[in-house]
A = this chain, B = another copy of it.
Amino acid sequence: MPAFEHHVFVCQNVRPEGAPRPSCTSDGKSELLAELQQRTKAAGLSGRVRINKSGCLDQCEHGPTVVVYPEAVWYGKVQAADAAEIVEEHLIGGRPVERLRIADGCLNTKSCPHRTQG
């Protein structure tokens, strides 16, 4: 298999207390990551789908943040309880979970209202 069918990056960034932008995790570890990894493995997707730790994905005001490549689907405010739906709908079914997507007007945009209000 030449490449991962889905390569999922889960932000594990933690900032110092009092930092101007929020953190995606409190301590650099997330139950979300573990839950995605466990469910992907249980679904027999190991080797085809990779769940990866990542550093800051720069969408901090929408965190916890996840991005799925190569399709470049960005999710925000993702909780461990959302892992099952991401795995079943998106990674197995090929249907991104629309309710979790970061809006185009927010993604990678310094003028995003969630960011400027922060």
A residues contacting B by CB (< 8 A) are 1-4, 7, 9, 12, 47, 50, 52-58, 67, 69-72, 74, 104, 107-110
Contacts and interface: CB of A to CB of B under 8 A. Distances in A.
Q: Number of copies of this chain in the oligomer?
A: 2
Given A12-B55, A52-B55, A58-B50, A2 B69 contact: no
Residue from A47, A55, A56, A58 having most chain B Cβ neighbours under 10 A: A55
Contacts of A109: 1
B53 A55 contact: yes
A46 to B, nearest CB: 10
A1 B55 contact: no
Contacts of A1: 108-109
A116 to B, nearest CB: 15
A2 B54 CA distance: 20
Contact of A54 (B4, B52, B72): B52
Given A47-B108, A69-B69, 5 more contacts: A3-B72, A3-B107, A4-B72, A7-B72, A52-B54
